[in-house]
Amino acid sequence: MAKLIRQGDVILREIRALPQYVSQVDKTREFDGMVVSPDGVTIRGETGHAHVLSGVKTYTNWERAVYVVVDEPPTLKHDEHPEIMVPPGVYAITHVQDYALSRVID
């Protein structure tokens, strides 16, 4: 059974292997509220605080999906949540964003 790790609005979903057509990140990129570097991911939460996962290998594809390979267990850190140790494996990262309907309709 696949592991799900959630810290606030960030979800790491364990997958069997990297999908086809991904490439290892070779320079820092920013998209969809995430800063992805070759060795980590920083994700800005809705409160402006950052979720930080470092010491991993990062991969992405043309759809901007983000994947990490964990060899040595890093810690997912955020100053408003308890730290979470991430077990070795391959994970897809999802940034869940909630929107207030009134902000969308205005």
Compute the average pLDDT of residues 80-93. 94
44-57 pLDDT tens trace: 877 778 999 999 99
* DSSP-based three-state secondary structure for 85: strand
Compute the average pLDDT of residues 10-31. 94
Q: What is the pLDDT, as a whole number, of residue 44?
A: 86
Q: What is the pLDDT, as a whole number, of residue 53?
A: 96
